[in-house]
Amino acid sequence: MEKNPISEVILKIPPSIAADIGSREILTLLIDKALGKKDLYQSKIKLFESKYGTNYASFKKKLEIEDENFQEWDDLILWEGYLLAYREWNAKYRDLKLCMK
């Protein structure tokens, strides 16, 4: 099994909070944040898939052979951005989940 590289971070928080929260809880908060972002971008991707009835790759191919439709090209750029953001947050989510083991 490959070991996941990790970095140690030191947080300065008020003693009243430090007494009530542990590193595992902080990690859980980070996991929840990553999951929320991942789900947000996934929902935006699904909106485009529903709007155009296809996936990103097929839609991009279609636009490359058709006449220019500026609204569809704008949507393609947004769609690509959502895909990149989804992949980034999904990777962060997976990495954080590995830290819980």
Distance CA 86, CA 90 (A): 6
Is the pLDDT reported for residue 1 higher than 90?
no
Q: To 5 degrees, how large is the angle CA 68–CA 81–CA 78?
A: 40
Among 15-19, 49-53, 83-87, the minimum mean pLDDT is found in 15-19
Model confidence at 78, in pLDDT bands (50, 70, 90)?
very high
Comparing 44 with 2, the larger pLDDT belongs to 44
Of residues 34, 10, 24, the one with CA closest to residue 95: 34
pLDDT score at 45: 98
Among 7-16, 22-31, 33-42, 74-83, the minimum mean pLDDT is found in 7-16
Which of the 8 DSSP states describes residue 66?
A: S
Please give the model's pTM, rounded to 2 decimal places: 0.85
Taking a C-beta distance cutoff of 8 angstroms, is the pair 34, 88 a contact?
no
